[in-house]
Amino acid sequence: MRPIPNGNVLRSDNRYSVAIIGGGILGTAIAYFLSRASAPRMNSVVLIEQEQTIAMHASSRNTGKVHAPFLYNPVEKKLFAKAAFLGFKMLKEYCSLKSLPFKQDGVLEVATHDSGIDRLHKYLEWGYSNGLKKDELQYLEKAAVQKLEPNVRCLAGIYCSKDASTNYGLVTRQILDDARKFGCSVIVGSKVEKILARNSNDGDTSQNVVTLHISNGMNIKTDYVVNTAGGNAIDIAHGMKIATQYSDLHFRGEYWLAPEEYRDLTKLSIYSVPKYPQYPFLDPHWIIRVDGRREIGPNAVPVFSPYAYSLSANIRFLIPKIFESSRTGARRILFDRQFLQLASSELKSSISKTAMINRAKEFLPQIRPSSFIQRGTAGIRSSLIDVRGKFVSDTKIIKNEYSVHVLNYNSPGATGALPIAAMIAQELIVQGILDRSNQGNNCKYTDVKSPNWDTAALSEEISQ
């Protein structure tokens, strides 16, 4: 065993039962459940993150909402809906145990146009069918909204008391801390560049050995790869000749920080019903963050990479993305007039602060664009496109005998990360993958306070 600078212990033979690519909330939570299951033996599981620290991308750059599952069609977004339902309770319990911020602060979803009212009724139906109770999700006529939130203008709304706020960056770091105490190895600042699988057959037994070539020069050997690389997950899957029927498009969600003068404008976060729900363009919300900051956002500006936070980064990826899109289903979307119209309006709201703030002004008429002077932290969603050029609604979990790939893991991905991770981990535990090449030392983990989660029961509940 040899230590690396952050006190973490790696195996000298670079051999692990499971290698997880990507230290966002999902990969970290899978590392937690797997290492918890293999403790006290350590070094069965390794988590590899390309950045110097974990949760640098979507898992820190989001709205921080623990979404109640009323926005998700129980058929088309079944996995997300179930994960959000179960995730609420798990996050609440975990945050309370670890003294992390978690506020059940509720949300108001409003319709500002006639067709939005039908959509609100649909949300009610979906919410109840996804497990919310009548007293947790209520339809409000215009007058009732006015009474609840006098500064909000709309035709009707629904109030959900079971929505909450947290800080997912802090949650992810805490989960990793626990995973490490359970014996998980962690390699940061190292990108997985190439993955090669080979079947080693020694007569009686046949076993897959996968080699991950990483940017620090190391070659990691493993029985099983978990691809939770967020916006990069599809490229890793394609590198292993998996999910080749899918491509992706990236959308930068930008925020503006509201000034102090708007602190008492509402008690609740306010979302408005999207005009075109089949596209990944939600109208910007009025957000109350867990630390009390008020923000407007996110929009959804098309960009060329999952890391295109700045103009220069975006331009750098222009040519490769155009080249990639020309060969995949993503090119069909460029002939979709509705999509192009929406994309250009999102672009306008990126360039013009007034255009962006005016979208929230539709339901909060008191706000003035000139009062907003500071941008918030933008995050990038990567949406999966199928061969017909259609956006895929749910998350896609694609497996072969030596890997699992989590694609299209967008909102409410942070809310649902713990139950989805429990489900993925449980499958590997049942397959006995943790026991295959595990000769690690024992770790001391008695100081880890851990909720009494039953991964088998969670896995069953989510897969029903």
Ligand X SMILES: Cc1cc2nc3c(=O)[nH]c(=O)nc-3n(C[C@H](O)[C@H](O)[C@H](O)COP(=O)(O)OP(=O)(O)OC[C@H]3O[C@@H](n4cnc5c(N)ncnc54)[C@H](O)[C@@H]3O)c2cc1C
What does the block give as tokens for 447? 């100081």
Binder of ligand X out of 18, 25, 342, 433 (CB under 6 A)? 25
Minimum distance of ligand X from residue 417's CB (angstroms): 6
Q: Which residues contact 64 (CB under 8 A, 6 or more apart)?
A: 165, 166, 167, 168, 287, 289, 290
Residue 79 tokens, joined:
């996995």
Q: Which residue has the tokens 């059940």?
A: 104
User: Nearest approach, Cβ of 372 to ligand X (angstroms)?
Assistant: 18
Q: Residue type for 322, please?
A: I
Is the Cβ of residue 385 or residue 417 nearer to ligand X in the bound state? 417
314 contacts ligand X (rule: CB under 6 A) = no
Q: How many CB atoms lie within 10 A of CB 16?
A: 27
Site string for ligand X, 65-84 (x = CB under 6 A): x-x-----------------
Nearest to 64 by CA among 291, 308, 353: 291
In angstroms, rounded to a whole number, what is the distance separating the alpha carbons of residues 149 and 143? Answer: 10
Distance, CA of 285 to CA of 271 (rounded, Å): 5
- For the stretch 320-329, contacts whose Cβ atoms lie closer than 8 Å and that sit 24 or more positions apart, written own/partner, are 324/247, 325/247, 325/249, 328/246, 328/247, 328/385, 328/387, 329/245, 329/246, 329/247, 329/385, 329/386, 329/387, 329/388, 329/389, 329/390
Residue 395 CA to residue 409 CA, distance in Å, equals 5
| 306 preceded by a cis bond (ω within 30 of 0) | no
Among 9, 18, 21, 270, binds ligand X (CB under 6 A): 21
CB of 434 to ligand X, least distance (A): 21
Looking at beta carbons only, is 199 or 215 nearer to ligand X? 215
Residues 6 or more apart whose CB falls under 8 angstroms from that of 234 comprise 243, 246, 247, 248, 382, 384, 407
Residue 82 vs 381, nearer CB to ligand X: 381
Min separation Cβ 253 and ligand X, Å = 3
Instruction: Count other Cβ atoms within 10 Å, centred on residue 271.
Output: 25
Q: Contact with ligand X (CB under 6 A): which of 63, 167, 247, 455?
A: 63
How near is the Cβ of 84 to ligand X at its closest, in Å?
Answer: 7
Residue 13 CB, shortest distance to ligand X, in Å, is 21
Residue 235 burial by CB count (10 A; 0-12/13-18/19+): exposed, middle or buried?
Answer: middle
Q: Which stretch binds ligand X (CB under 6 A): 36-44, 61-69, 218-226, 350-358?
A: 61-69
Q: Which of 411, 426, 438, 459 binds ligand X (CB under 6 A)?
A: 411
CB 259 within 8 A of CB 368: no
Per-residue x/- track, 282-301, ligand X (CB under 6 A): ----------------x---
CA–CA separation, 141 and 123 (whole Å) = 15
* DSSP class of 46: E
Q: Which of 23, 106, 329, 376 binds ligand X (CB under 6 A)?
A: 23
Which of 10, 20, 22, 181 touches ligand X (CB under 6 A)? 22
Residues 41-60 that bind ligand X (CB under 6 A): 48-51, 56-59
Interface positions, 214-233, toward ligand X (CB under 6 A): 228-232
From the CB of 125, what's the least distance to ligand X, in Å?
A: 22
**SS3 state at 403:** strand
Tell the smallest beta-carbon distance from residue 229 to ligand X (Å).
Answer: 4
Cβ closer to ligand X: 270 or 414?
Answer: 414
Only segment of 101-109, 138-146, 149-157, 377-385 that touches ligand X (CB under 6 A): 377-385
Strands 45-48 vs 15-21: parallel, antiparallel or unpaired: parallel
For 342: left if phi > 0, alpha if psi spans -120 to 50, otherwise beta; the answer is: alpha
Q: Which stretch binds ligand X (CB under 6 A): 198-206, 240-248, 378-386, 444-452?
A: 378-386
Q: Is the CB of 38 or the CB of 232 nearer to ligand X?
A: 232
# residues near ligand X by CB under 6 A: 41
Site string for ligand X, 81-120 (x = CB under 6 A): ----------------------------------------
Nearest Cα to Cα of residue 119 among 275, 269, 279: 275
C-beta closer to ligand X: residue 225 or 443: 225
The backbone region for 292, taken as left when phi is positive above 0, alpha when psi lies in -120 to 50, beta otherwise, is left
Choose one: 17-25, 148-156, 173-181, 454-462; the region binding ligand X (CB under 6 A): 17-25
Instruction: Kindly tell me which of 58 and 428 has the beta carbon lying closer to ligand X.
Output: 58
- Least separation in angstroms between residue 394's CB and ligand X is 12
Q: Which is nearer to ligand X, 155 or 197 (CB)?
A: 197
Show contacts with ligand X in window 166-195 (CB under 6 A). Answer: 191-192
- The answer to whether the CB of 236 falls within 8 A of the CB of 196 is no
The distance of closest approach from Cβ of residue 193 to ligand X in the complex, given in angstroms and rounded to an integer, is 7
Which residues would be at the binding site for ligand X (CB under 6 A)? 21-27, 48-51, 56-59, 61-65, 67, 191-192, 228-232, 236, 253, 298, 379-381, 409-415
